[in-house]
Amino acid sequence: MRRLLIPTRGTVQALAGLAVLAAVASMAGAPSEWVGLASGVLLAAGIGYAGVDLWRSWRDWRAAPLRVERQLPGAFSLGVPTVLSLTLVNEGTVDWQVAVFDEVDPHFSFEGLPQDVVVPASAKVELRYTATALTRGVAQFGVTQLRWRTRAGCFEVRQPLGQPQRIRVYPNFAALARYAWLSGDRRLAQIGIKTFQQRGQGTDFRQLADYRTGDSLRHIDWKATLRHQRPIVREFQDDRDQCVYFLLDCGRRMRADEGMQTQQQQRGGSHFDEALNALMLLSYVALKEGDEVGAMTFGGSPEQRRDFAPRKGTATLNALMNRLHDIQPGATHSDYQVAAQELLRVQRRRALVIVLTNFRDEDASELRPAIKLLRRNHLVLVASLRERVLGRIAGQPIVRARDAVDVAAAHLFDQSRHDAFARVVGNDPLSIDVEPAQLAVALVNRYHAVKRAGLL
């Protein structure tokens, strides 16, 4: 972007004042020749003064221009306010008065810009502002725009500094971080996740331990007991090396945002965003348990089709998010049967297949045969997202006759949806139909139930 020279307010006021004085003198009856001569002299003097000011300032700026250093995080989380910093470095001998505006990605909201500061000679000044990502994907931060004032204050020069930067915006990590923190303190019940005593359960041998009251007698290791002269039992853990495979709907059903009226909802509360958050949390839990995690998308445009081969290890979660973080649901219809056939082609080993979608009654004729097809080789869990507005309408107080109609209609629609979903999944106790905010916890609880029961 080219530099732009802008007169300051003081310069404009001086010119306006000169014009007013000339007008007043003319109205007072002063000779027009004298008024014109005096105005011309003053104007020429002002132009000369401004020219000298601009020349001196430009000479000083070229000798030691300001530098800008922008500090961005490694990645943004959707809807999480992030403090960013800009450092202005002055290596010259002149103080500069500047106005600073950073070119933030248009899909961000921000607070704290622009800012006016004075950067002293041979010094640094750090500015901070807050930016919040409103859309996942790749964000583009442009250059930093400065308006520095000439030394006498006659002009401001708009000067672009720095280089554009690209950075990724991931789903919100808050649920994952909270899970990790609470699991360390053994307080997962605070967020609704059920935990169970693992001692003596599962099928994979874990270790030998001293017998405690309540341990099963069939788990006593008699050889170890004789060797140590005290009761020793075998401890088991849930089966490991199993596979969790996500089938993520990217069709028009997942575009539901229910108005996004509140600021919190605007920060990443759509159905698809909540589904990604739940996928990320359960992936973290499954990887911690030693299982593999894979994913495949269906529906949406061809550009949004992604697949992620099952793998395990600490680096898997980052790789999975890099693969899925920029997906946006499309406006096309999702074909459940084609998705099921594709998954069976690429995933032959038995897995827990989690179908993340937004079920409607009219989808029953397509979803039922797709589930039946998947169940030939896999354990299938259908996770459907239910609109929040149904619960709000059904629970609202009845003040007018119209309110009674709305409440009854909401209950009727919810019951109809519940019955249709039950028919589609065959009253499968694993499958769930919940509001988006409840999805992550419900999936983790279902996963633990599958592991505990040894269904895989």
Res 299 pLDDT > 80:
yes
CATH of the domain at 154: 2.60.40.10
Q: pLDDT band for position 35 (50/70/90)?
A: confident
**Stretch among 257-261, 308-312, 335-339 having the lowest mean pLDDT:** 257-261
* 160/181 same-domain check: no
| CA 334 – CA 358 distance, rounded (Å) | 10
* 217/334 same-domain check: no
| Dihedral pair phi/psi, residue 231, rounded to 5° | -65, 125
- Which structure tokens are listed for 375? 């169940």
Q: pLDDT at position 84, please?
A: 93
Q: Domain range spanning residue 49? A: 8-63
Q: pLDDT at position 268, please?
A: 46
* 233/354 same-domain check: no
* 348/300 same-domain check: yes
How many domains is the chain partitioned into structurally? 4
* 28/15 same-domain check: yes
* 269/396 same-domain check: yes
Res 175 pLDDT > 90:
no
* 26/110 same-domain check: no
- Which structure tokens are listed for 392? 């709000």
Give 223 or 100, the one with higher predicted confidence. Answer: 100
Mean local confidence (pLDDT), 77-102: 90
421: in domain: yes
345: in domain: yes
* 387/348 same-domain check: yes
The whole-chain average pLDDT of the chain stands at: 81
212: in domain: yes
3: in domain: no
CATH of the domain at 353: 3.40.50.410
* 210/190 same-domain check: no
- Which phi-psi region, left, alpha or beta, contains residue 30 (left: φ > 0; alpha: ψ -120 to 50)? beta
1: in domain: no
* 213/349 same-domain check: no
* 119/178 same-domain check: no
* 76/56 same-domain check: no
Q: pLDDT at position 176, please?
A: 63
Cβ pair 239, 204 in contact under 8 A: yes
What is the sign of the dihedral through the CA atoms of 5, 8, 11 and 14? Answer: positive
Q: pLDDT band for position 12 (50/70/90)?
A: confident
